[in-house]
Structure 1
Amino acid sequence: MQVEHVGKNIEITDFIKAYTEHKLERLKHYLKDLDVAPDSVRVRVVYDFEKHRHRNRVDIDVYLNTPGGGVIHAWEESNDLYSAIDFVIDEVERQLVRLKQRRIEASRRESRLEKMKEHTVQESSIERALIVIEPMPSEKPLTVEDARLMLEETGAFFLPFINSETGEVNVIYRKKAGNYGLITPRA
């Protein structure tokens, strides 16, 4: 990690540099999670002292020189320079965690899209018949009462059957009210 220290209205001592670089070591763990080599990261730390407000401001820019890299920027103000450094490092850390989560979600989204593409390619290569011929559930003719009992036993919503009284195909079905309906061919 290459660290550049810039001071505005403040003299940057070796202790301030060492303190900041020690705090930046925490970020290496997150960079490793993002598959970013520490050598490909450039950090620019700007220390500023505003005389009229007696405030210290610390700006940090983290440049990720990788494919899909980017820049992370955070700043913090405080009366104490070291508190400002701590707070701004915490903010950079939060942004790195969010970046990691966004990249994980993006990779999941891409893998879902690839699976869907593979699935649609497989479906389009298989020809489906629009109408599938299925046998009647019961080959022998039934009375309407026997068909109702069979419908209750199976737990199905409807049952086509051959009516033993008329010899025609009828359908018995359950209604929402709990009673049953019967569909017969028109004469």
Structure 2
Amino acid sequence: MKMIISGKNMEVTDALRDTTEKKLGKLDKYFFKDAEAYVTFSVEKDRQIIEVTIPFAGAIIRAEEFTDDMYTSIDKAVDVLERQVKKHKTKLQRRKHNGKTIRFENIPSLDTQERDNEPKIVKTKRFAIKPMDEEEAVLQMDLLGHNFFVFRNADSDEVNVVYKRKDGNYGLIEPEY
């Protein structure tokens, strides 16, 4: 797996780069060599943050972890990514990806007890999507007390999503075709 490592508000040392490549190398057995992992390190006050994104065959796995020690953050992120790959193995296989970037034979199956505890869709809601701008969508989301809100953008006439970020700010998701 190819790793693209960068730092935000910090310099990535050789030791940090080597440790990251070694730890994320544990995931090599799940992916073919042409898979890429995007790793971003950042520091905010006393939070050492690592973000890892691995796009493959139309899907993405992602982990963002932070602790007061970057090396501990790396360990936690690798554990999260490995759990995601194992948990979503059958879902990924069902989507019939071409199999050129992920090697399913190396991913162990979940035992039946873990499979029974998997989340399921238990409720479906339908609602009219009214055209509005981003600020109005954020206001609606706050009034509803939700973490996200789906709306039709009045400017682009596309379906967008606004969401509340962990840092207290808001994010906007726009479709890309």
Q: TM-score, normalised by structure 1?
A: 0.48
State the alpha-carbon separation in 2 of the partners of residues 19 and 96 from structure 1.
21
Displacement of 1:56? 0.4
Q: Equivalent residues in 2 for 1:87-126 (5 A)?
A: 87-104=76-93
Mapped contact 1:30–1:97 kept (Cα < 8 A):
no
Runs of 4+ that moved beyond 2 A: 103-107
State which of 55, 66, 79 in structure 2 corresponds to 1:63.
Answer: 55
Specify the code of the residue in structure 2 equivalent to 1:45: V
State the alpha-carbon separation in 1 of the partners of residues 54 and 86 from structure 2.
14
What is the aligned partner in structure 2 of residue 6 from structure 1? 6
State the alpha-carbon separation in 2 of the partners of residues 106 and 11 from structure 1.
39
State which of 31, 34, 46 in structure 1 corresponds to 2:40.
Answer: 46
What is the aligned partner in structure 1 of residue 66 from structure 2? 77
State the alpha-carbon separation in 2 of the partners of residues 82 and 106 from structure 1.
35
State the alpha-carbon separation in 1 of the partners of residues 19 and 52 from structure 2.
14
Q: CA RMSD in A?
A: 1.6
Deviates more, 1:10-19 or 1:22-31: 22-31
Greater fraction of residues in helix? 1
State the alpha-carbon separation in 2 of the partners of residues 87 and 38 from structure 1.
23
> Could you say which structure has the greater relative contact order, defined with CA pairs below 8 angstroms and 6 or more residues apart?
2
- Tell me the number of residue pairs that the alignment of Structure 1 and Structure 2 aligns: 96
Deviates more, 1:6-15 or 1:78-87: 6-15
Q: TM-score, normalised by structure 2?
A: 0.50
Aligned with 2:88: secondary structure? helix
Specify the code of the residue in structure 1 equivalent to 2:20: T
Counting aligned pairs with the same residue, the percent is 32
State the alpha-carbon separation in 2 of the partners of residues 50 and 106 from structure 1.
38
State the alpha-carbon separation in 1 of the partners of residues 85 and 92 from structure 2.
11
**What are the superposed Cα offsets for residues 98-150 of structure 1, whole Å, 9 maximum, x if unpaired?**
2213234567xxxxxxxxxxxxxxxxxxxxxxxxxxxxxxxxxxxxxxxxxxx
What is the aligned partner in structure 2 of residue 21 from structure 1? 21
Gap regions ≥5 residues in structure 2:
97-177
